[in-house]
Structure 1
Amino acid sequence: MGGLIYLYGLIPTKEATNQSFPTLKGFDGEGDLYTIHIGKITAAVCDLDAENYSEESIKDRINDDMEWLQEKAFHHHETVVNLSKIFTIIPLKFCTLYKNLNSLETAVQSKESKLMSSFDLISGNEEWNLKIYCDDQLLKKQVSQSNPTIEAKREEISQMPKGKQFFEKKKLDKLIESQLEEEKNKISEQIHLHLREFALKGNVKKNWGNDVTGRKDNMTWNGVYLIPESKIEVFLEQLQHYEKSMQKAGWQFEATGPWPAYHFSSFS
């Protein structure tokens, strides 16, 4: 059977030729990674058997074998991370496969200008992720006691007949919940906008549920930032400041990085 090409990432050729390429095992655990120079861009790849790693067989393994999926996804991630420590790299998604060298070369050449612009953007910068968590019960208590909208509603209810108060208090509970969400979003967005001042770019991602995080407190913000290396320290110092000043109010901050620039480079 013929072979497939598994693509991990793209590297500027000037970097690939000036630095030695590390010895890393490929996706099947047998062959090694190697490079393919395509003009100004170099592909970091490995070879795979077309029969064992056909599109259908990979779909079947992903759907039926969670242990295999976790192992291979971790391999892909770790390999890209290791390469990102040496080179400026545009990381590819898990299981990016090409049927032959010609199809890979055509894909890269057709997007050369965009890829070179991505290299310029991410070079000398780091991707960091920030997840913000909040203890809803603690913040709910604060919102309930200090929010002017809620205070006004309480005052209005206190002037009503007893029978009507019961139903209005139910509405008050819903109002507190909605004000809680507004407060969480407002505080998280203010923090995000402040941190954007130290980053070239900052994007907002979808929050994860507790079933994914395994935490009791809820995720209120999930952001990614492309930060110049010279500003990493001050970025992290700002996070430490938030952590210390807001911890008693139930806020937690989880910053991780640097990561390969998955969110600030792309190659379809």
Structure 2
Amino acid sequence: MSGLRYVYALCRPLEAPLQAQLTGVAGAPAKPLHHHGLVAVVSEVPEQDFTEEALRAHLEDLDWLAATARAHQGVIDALTVVTTPLPLRLATVFRDDSGVRSMIESREEHFRRTLDRLTGRVEWGVKVYLESERAEESEAAEAAEERSAPKAASGRDYLRLRRQQTRASEDLWQRAETFATGLHERLAAFAEESRLHAPQNATLSGAAGRNVLNAAYLVPRDRSEEFVELVDRTKDDAPGLRVELTGPWAAYSFAGELPGEGGS
């Protein structure tokens, strides 16, 4: 290789080969780099696109960023089919193979412990949304009630009406949060580990509705079907709510901050 080394993930030696035509970032083939019984999955990327200065410029180019993220995730997804990968952050690069090997050696015990904990497990994501239509209906009903109600005889009457409307809206949010809390407790009891993430911002995610649960669950691969069925059974208990299940993924939420990310 003559370019920089882009590192997607670390894993144990593969029991099955990677897809023959698996390509990663910049269209380069992804290849295993063996060192001390561990494997870094790498590809060659052009230096002019992955120096620190070039990456700063690329971060302003949303099309480039999206294409790179898709290619990166494609390699991680392929690895997840055949092994348990520890995915590194987007655009983790090193000068050469020696740099990658040095990174492995510097954190070898950490990598081995983390792989021991995660081997045979996958991550499932569960999100619960209060449907935007439901919230809008509640707000519209409040506005209609206010328009049709007799004009308040006093400021006290007006404040009482507003409190009633506010209470109805709060009840809607409370029911959604109560459902989400109960669902998380059931799923966390099934999973080996769980993580609660901050609710997604609808403006950034583009998802409809208000996100009231954004969680990840670490589940043994051979129990994934049971987990999926458990989530599916809850959907009928959630009128006005949308339950979304994603996965199985590499265990991003449970790998911790992998040392050595960022490269050189």
| TM-score (normalizing by structure 2) | 0.82
Give the counterpart of 1:92 among 88, 92, 109. 88
The C-alpha deviation readout for 1:143-199, integer Å capped at 9, x for no partner, is: xxxxxxxxxxxxxxxxxx955221233234344444443332222111101111210
Give the counterpart of 2:131 among 127, 130, 135. 135
Aligned to 1:104: 100
The answer as to 2:189 corresponding to 1:211 is no
What value does the CA root-mean-square deviation take over the aligned residues? 2.4
3-state SS of the aligned residue for 1:19? coil
CA contact (8 A) 2:10 2:39 kept: yes
CA-CA distance at 1:227 after TM superposition? 0.7
Aligned to 1:34: 31
State the aligned residue count. 242
Identity %: 22
Question: What does residue range 1-268 of structure 1 map to in structure 2 within 5 Å?
Answer: 3-12=3-12, 15-16=13-14, 18-23=15-20, 24-29=22-27, 31-63=28-60, 65-135=61-131, 138=134, 163-246=155-238, 249-266=239-256, 267-268=258-259
CA contact (8 A) 2:33 2:42 kept: yes
1:26–1:188 Cα change, 3 Å: closer
Task: Measure the CA separation in 2 of the matches of 1:115 and 1:50.
Answer: 27
CA contact (8 A) 2:23 2:71 kept: no
| TM-score (normalizing by structure 1) | 0.81
CA contact (8 A) 1:7 1:96 kept: yes
Task: Measure the CA separation in 1 of the matches of 2:59 and 2:135.
Answer: 41
1:22–1:234 Cα change, 3 Å: closer
CA contact (8 A) 1:9 1:89 kept: yes
3-state SS of the aligned residue for 1:43? strand
Farther-moved stretch of structure 1 (101-110 vs 199-208):
101-110
1:216–1:100 Cα change, 3 Å: closer
In structure 1, the gaps of 5 or more residues are: 143-160
3-state SS of the aligned residue for 2:11? strand
In structure 2, the gaps of 5 or more residues are: 139-152, 260-264
